[in-house]
Amino acid sequence: MKTAIITGGSRGIGEAMTLKLGEMGYNVVINYRSESSKALTEKLVATLSEKYGVEGYAVRADVSKYEDCGALVKAAVEKFGEKIDVLVNNAGITNNSPFCELSHDSYMAVIETNMLSAFHMCHFVVPYMVKANEGCVISTSSIGGLMGVANQADYCASKSGLIGMTRALAMEFGKQNIRFNCICPGMIWTDMLRGVNQDEVAALAQSIPAGKIGDVDDIANAMEFLIKDKYMTGQYVSPNGGIYMP
């Protein structure tokens, strides 16, 4: 049985990715950070078993912290063995704040959660992939990592950093059959988007060439493509309805 680790995998885009991994036949290790997320994650673990016949494993870990990332990977190895087939770095937060109003703690939280967590997870997981001479790492970036977004300096910086890390690691570990890619979603229907003014959301949707906002399954499908395409590395794919065309 194949093994995947996903961070931020219990809700929204992460939940869709977790379920897609289960559908693809992976045992899935999912982190959660707070007690409020524990029940949600354990419910998802049960769904993986009931719906796909694979095993899920919920581990409490704040992936913005290096030591917690180490503990998460250790728990995964102890549970499913040393062969880690897929790592999905999906944990992410945003402040959506004017730059001059950002505190040091608030922008560091975004950078540590969005970018450094991926760096930490790769630091612990990649040696196992080197040992196996294969592996796949996918990081969830954003169109915010490709273009400027007002009031999102810390978010954009963190998401751009993921792309830079991905390209460098793809260069370094290509000969060892380890692939690194990013997904850069555009506007996607999540609980956060459903909680804001829907008239404004509808107006924004009309600015998207596709004329609609994407679904979390669009991102999970992109993840599946990147896992299956063995010649794809050092790249980003951006399901965004055409709102950003480089």
Tokens of 193: 């988007």
- CA pseudo-torsion sign 12, 13, 15, 20: positive
Helix (H, G, I), strand (E, B) or coil at 236: strand
Pairing of strands 135-140, 178-183: parallel
Q: Which of 26, 155, 231, 236 is catalytic?
A: 155
Q: Which residues have a Cβ under 8 Å from the Cβ of 208 and sit 6 or more positions away?
A: 186, 187, 240, 241, 242, 243
* Apex 157 CA angle, 109 and 86, nearest 5: 80
Residue in 8, 5, 11 with CA at minimum distance from that of residue 189: 11
178-183: strand order across its sheet: 56-60, 26-32, 2-7, 86-89, 135-140, 178-183, 235-237
155: annotated active-site residue: yes
Could you give the CA distance from residue 135 to residue 62 in angstroms, rounded to a whole number? 24
Q: Which residues are catalytic?
A: 155
